[in-house]
Structure 1
Amino acid sequence: MDYFSSRFKLGILGGGQLGKMMLYETRKFDIHTKVLEASNEAPCKISCNEFVLGNLMDFDAVYNFGKQVDVLTIEIENVNLDALEKLEDEGLKVYPPTKALRIIQNKAKQKLFYVDHGIPTAEFSRFAYASEIEDSIENGGLEFPFVWKAAQFGYDGQGVKVVRTMEDVKNLPAGECIAEDMIPFKNELAVIVVRSPSGEVVTYPVVEMEFHPEANQVEYVICPARIDDQVAKKAREVALTVSEKIQHIGILAVEMFQTKDDEILVNEVAPRPHNSGHYSIEASYTNQFEQHIRAILDLPLGKTDSKVAGIMVNLVGAEGHTGEVVYENIDKIMAMEGVTPHIYGKKQTRPFRKMGHVTIVNTDIDEARRVAQHVKETIRVVSK
């Protein structure tokens, strides 16, 4: 199929910043794009060829949208899978496939999948309702502390809580969830695996993630991870196993724990471009967004090596600020060598909302980390 400067249409479900950065690449290749999104203020609106307002969880909205494109992909997992399945049955190429999304969309199903396929992961319990957790604690089934996760619709640190007391339990949202053992880990790592329909598979280098202690959001992504080569090899092997078992198409970001004993445990996965791969825009030969487009169109996959060390700093809304956004001191970070800000186009900020990111590249990883800290301490995302 001729994708370039042609009548071909690529459909994208979701209009957020991941879609916007994907559209940088489709613009580069002159691939016609059509985006479905519920918000008229979506970052994607300014970058796609066609923009359609619609609820991603609505069967008719997703199905009717899919009938108007030649290949359909996602930039968010929370979409109507029944509509995607019907479109697949009618011959539309949907990537990642619905079968993979059904495993990933629900964290309880995802964890059970790991167990069924011998993929190392933290011990967990599954609950139909959060109210059942209290009974489990009282009967000795669960012990404090543990990690509570909503089975569905979690994002950017939402839907995850560390539970230390019975009072914490009483404040949990209702609904299906899992309770995971707290893992005493050395590092949180991630590996991006890319798979094409014809079976070509590549991996990106292992990255190290540092999280905000309160918001449970990634603050820094460091590539390459500052870990032993054998641990990195093991992490890539585990990620490849997950990819092979799930049989996704496109990008799969595999988040993992490196335990105190250097074992690798899978935390969770995302079947689309991911925060842990943003560094690749400046640091890699082929960034993750271009790679995703190459994969879903079954084009040759690009080189995943890094040209230089890269660090990503998330820009999130400052606490105490809600309203029209202002990026304080952005000119100061732009004066720093190797620093590139990416602003997502969200006009309204609120505490911990992802508003952009900054990449720092340097031949010296330690110097890049020092500059990243300086960037974090300099720029502020506030409201007018």
Structure 2
Amino acid sequence: MTVTVPGPTLGVVGGGQLGRMLAEAASPLGVDVVVLDPTPNCPASRVADQIVGAFDDPDAMAELAARADALTFEIELADPDLLDELADEEDIEVHPSPDALRTIEDKLVQKRTFGEAGIPIPPFHRVDDAADLHAALDEFGAVMLKARTGGYDGRGNVPVTSPDEVEDALDSLGGPAMAESFVEFERELSVIGVRGTDDIRTFPVGENVHEDEILYETIVPARTNDEVTDEADRVAREVLSHLPGRGVFGIELFETSDGDVLVNEVAPRPHNSGHWTIEGALSSQFEQHIRAVLGWPLGATDRRSPTVMANILGTVGSARESKLGGLDAPLSESGVSLHWYGKDEVRPLRKMGHLTAVGNSDADVESLLERARTLRDGVEFL
């Protein structure tokens, strides 16, 4: 392939914060972006053209394909069958492959695929009814009940620890589910991996801090030993080898108390735990995704510096217009960057933006984390 700029136009299914950051990364490369999203004036519309339409609207999707030279998606609600049809009818490349989306969008299919490939995963059980969930409790003792499709940011995940909780848990999900054995883990890790035309690259291993199933911070380098990070990278590359198509994949992992690494979940797109790469790596996950989807050479994934990403989440209370204050401190701090996603409405625990803090020495990662938390906790919604 010969790369020239101005370059092609990339069509993106989804115009949330990931679509916005994809468009921001595309601009310096000479790549235009058009997004499809059902929400008028979606976050990505500030920096990209928008087609307003549902993710499964054939006409809107056909318009997106007509305006683009390649297609990708930033949300698992994209319809893989429709993407396949467009690839054939419009003669347009879609990456990652719709087959990868089919594998990942259903958590049961995802777990079965990885388990059959010999990739380490927690024990799991299919759940179609109360009897299945009772059987899973008898086998595992306590489980995380997960909706098979549609769950994100902790939604669709319900811990179940006793038979008395079975009916309420199933009612809360309202559809097919899977039960995964609780894992006694030391920490949660993630690897952002990228599949190019003929190679696989990974970013350094990150450590994720969750509360209420929501990602609060990502810390790079992860506060673990070299053996664990090497194994996490190996497992991530094994996952990538079993997912077709080009692009970035976010791979969430558990480090167990025994030092083993298990795959938790995989996203076929840039991932919140990879936002640190914008300031903390030689190329960001978003630039890498664009390069990979277009079939361009991949960039370097080396870390520039120790980095902490802290999410800015909506506070508990009524939904209201979004406006953030208390920014004098983070904007005055050397090595701190603000990312605001441009969402119109604040809702409890909704990801509204993030702060990134970079340091000079790996030995300072604890103080860097405390710094990022203090600055993040000092901002407020007005």
TM bucket by the smaller chain?
Answer: over 0.9
Which residue of structure 2 lines up, in the alignment, with residue 105 of structure 1? 105
In the superposition, the TM-score normalised over structure 1's length comes to 0.93
Which residue of structure 1 lines up, in the alignment, with residue 16 of structure 2? 16
Please state if 1:67 is matched with 2:60.
no
- How far off its partner does 1:123 sit? 0.5
- How far off its partner does 1:377 sit? 2.7
- How far off its partner does 1:156 sit? 1.4
Query: After the TM superposition, which residues 362-373 of structure 1 pair with which residues of structure 2 at under 5 Å, given as runs?
Result: 362-363=359-360, 364-373=364-373
Bigger shift: 322-331 or 266-275? 322-331
Q: 1:315 aligns with which of 300, 306, 312?
A: 312
Bigger shift: 81-90 or 289-298? 81-90
Which residue of structure 2 lines up, in the alignment, with residue 154 of structure 1? 151
- Aligned amino acid, residue 16 of structure 1: G
Which residue of structure 2 lines up, in the alignment, with residue 54 of structure 1? 53
Query: After the TM superposition, which residues 106-125 of structure 1 pair with which residues of structure 2 at under 5 Å, given as runs?
Result: 106-125=106-125
Which residue of structure 1 lines up, in the alignment, with residue 323 of structure 2? 326
Quick check: 1:62–1:80 contact (8 Å CA) kept in 2? no
Equivalent residues, number = 374
Quick check: 1:208–1:223 contact (8 Å CA) kept in 2? yes
Quick check: 1:203–1:236 contact (8 Å CA) kept in 2? yes
RMSD: 1.8
**Aligned-residue identity in percent:** 36
Which residue of structure 2 lines up, in the alignment, with residue 4 of structure 1? 5
Which consecutive residues of structure 1, in runs of 5 or more, have no partner in the other structure?
A: none
Q: 1:277 aligns with which of 270, 274, 290?
A: 274
Please state if 1:165 is matched with 2:165.
no
Secondary structure at the aligned position of 2:254 is classed as strand
Which residue of structure 2 lines up, in the alignment, with residue 342 of structure 1? 339
Secondary structure at the aligned position of 1:104 is classed as helix
How many Å separate the matches in 1 of 2:289 and 2:140? 41
- Aligned amino acid, residue 234 of structure 1: E
How many Å separate the matches in 2 of 1:73 and 1:3? 20
- How far off its partner does 1:31 sit? 1.3
Query: After the TM superposition, which residues 1-384 of structure 1 pair with which residues of structure 2 at under 5 Å, given as runs?
Result: 4-5=5-6, 8-48=8-48, 50-90=49-89, 91-128=91-128, 132-134=129-131, 136-137=133-134, 141-171=138-168, 172-196=172-196, 198-212=197-211, 214=212, 216-363=213-360, 364-380=364-380, 382=381, 384=382
In the superposition, the TM-score normalised over structure 2's length comes to 0.93
Quick check: 1:195–1:201 contact (8 Å CA) kept in 2? yes
Over 3 Å counting, the alpha-carbon distance change for 1:110 and 1:335 in structure 2 is same
- Aligned amino acid, residue 86 of structure 2: L
How many Å separate the matches in 2 of 1:266 and 1:79? 23
Over 3 Å counting, the alpha-carbon distance change for 1:142 and 1:133 in structure 2 is farther
How many Å separate the matches in 2 of 1:70 and 1:205? 31
